[in-house]
Amino acid sequence: MLRRYPVGIPLSGDFDLVEADVAELNEGEVLVETHYLSMDPAPRLRMDGAAVFPPPLPLGQVVMGRGVGIVRGSRFAGLSTGDAVAGELGWQEYARVSGAQLRKVDPQAGPLQAALGVLGPSGITAHCLTNYAAKVQSGDTVVVSAAAGSVGSVAVQLARSLGARVVGVIGGAHQARFVREDLGADAVVDYRSSCLDADLADACPGGANVFLDSVGGALHNVVMACIADHARIVVFGYISAYNSAAASQREYGSIYQIIRRRATLCGFLISDYAPRFSEALTHLGAALAAGTLKSFEHCVQGLDNAPAAFAALFDGDPVGKQLVQVRPLKNSKQRVTP
């Protein structure tokens, strides 16, 4: 549960680990045994009492978080005990949730946790970014700002498959190796380099035609300095500011470059693409089956390690999808009222 709103990077002490009975299911509800929780940066924005959009998470309540698990009891017509499901489960071992808000997962499509990553929100977001929002085409030079992250690691692969030259922005040797060797990026640049502008210019000889940015801040401006004419910039996050007070005040980019390059910069919320999610999943599933798309995950064991795994999104050097494996439970008495 969220004990207090973190200041800066969240600490374990900002959270409480609480044990409680599971209440009886109401009509339409389902009891889900959580197997994996997805660790994502965006909920940090809601761990702020002054947040406006999205609104603050209430203190003393279970922390929001997407997960996958197995139905252990159901009073919802569309789901039965034993079904695999994904959705908003929260940071808890058992979740009592409305069945209508869960997505049934096909266990044949891949490992269960893929429903949180490459066959879930991260993959769908990467697919919509590259195909629908940025319309990446063969010959484009595409810069991906958090290339080793959950969305970035899929976006790099998809942009490569679309025939683009892909430049991944990374931090450190571990991420560099991952993005270059495992994801197949054409080049990587380290955002901590003392000559990042020159590194980027080398990596993008004709300028960047597409910039997929979830980082913002100083990095955004450096990449904006090397965009090509008529570049398309899609901003879908600004993680560089998620731990600052007044994150919503962050400015970005250079109006001069936007005009000089007649660039188009657009904001992206994945919810706008809901009508195309199933189409996206079909493409992603086929690519995964064909081996042209790979799933990369890093998994931490136990719900008690969730706060540290969450903080590592901001100050670690995560590669791929960051997960918490909730099962097998440690020190847990299963007191479930089915």
Report the residue from 248, 301, 305, 332 that binds a copy of itself according to the rule CB under 8 A.
248
Q: Which is nearer to a copy of itself, 270 or 288 (CB)?
A: 270
Q: Is 252 a binder of a copy of itself (CB under 8 A)? A: yes
Q: Is 220 a binder of a copy of itself (CB under 8 A)? A: yes
In the complex, the smallest distance separating the C-beta of residue 128 from a copy of itself, rounded to whole angstroms, is: 12
Q: How far is CA 292 from CA 95, 157, 185, 287, 335, in A?
A: 35, 8, 13, 5, 44
Q: Is 259 a binder of a copy of itself (CB under 8 A)? A: yes
Report the residue from 104, 250, 294, 327 that binds a copy of itself according to the rule CB under 8 A.
250
Helix (H) or strand (E) run with residue 29 in it: strand 29-38
Q: Is 272 a binder of a copy of itself (CB under 8 A)? A: yes
Piece of 89-97, 168-176, 241-249, 299-307 that binds a copy of itself (CB under 8 A)? 241-249
Residues 78-107 that bind a copy of itself (CB under 8 A): none
Q: How far is CA 150 from CA 17, 38, 135, 253, 303, in A?
A: 26, 10, 20, 24, 20
CA atoms within 13 A on the CB side of 59: 8
Q: How far is CA 257 from CA 46, 55, 113, 202, 206, in A?
A: 32, 33, 41, 19, 15
Contact 211, 243 (CB under 8 A): no
Q: Is 216 a binder of a copy of itself (CB under 8 A)? A: yes
Report the residue from 267, 275, 291, 328 that binds a copy of itself according to the rule CB under 8 A.
267
Q: Is 43 a binder of a copy of itself (CB under 8 A)? A: no
Give, as one character, the DSSP assignment of residue 113.
G
CA–CA dist 232, 149 (Å, integer): 21
- DSSP assignment of 267-333 equals E--GGGGGGGHHHHHHHHHHHHHHTSS---EEEEESGGGHHHHHHHHHHS---SEEEEE-PSPSS--
In the complex, the smallest distance separating the C-beta of residue 156 from a copy of itself, rounded to whole angstroms, is: 21
Report the residue from 238, 288, 310, 321 that binds a copy of itself according to the rule CB under 8 A.
238
Piece of 57-65, 183-191, 201-209, 230-238 that binds a copy of itself (CB under 8 A)? 230-238
SS3 41: coil
Report the residue from 80, 256, 282, 330 that binds a copy of itself according to the rule CB under 8 A.
256
Report the residue from 19, 27, 53, 290 that binds a copy of itself according to the rule CB under 8 A.
53
In the complex, the smallest distance separating the C-beta of residue 258 from a copy of itself, rounded to whole angstroms, is: 4
Nearest alpha-carbon partner for 332 in 307, 303, 306? 303
Which residues make up the interface to a copy of itself (CB under 8 A)?
53, 216, 220-221, 235-238, 247-269, 272
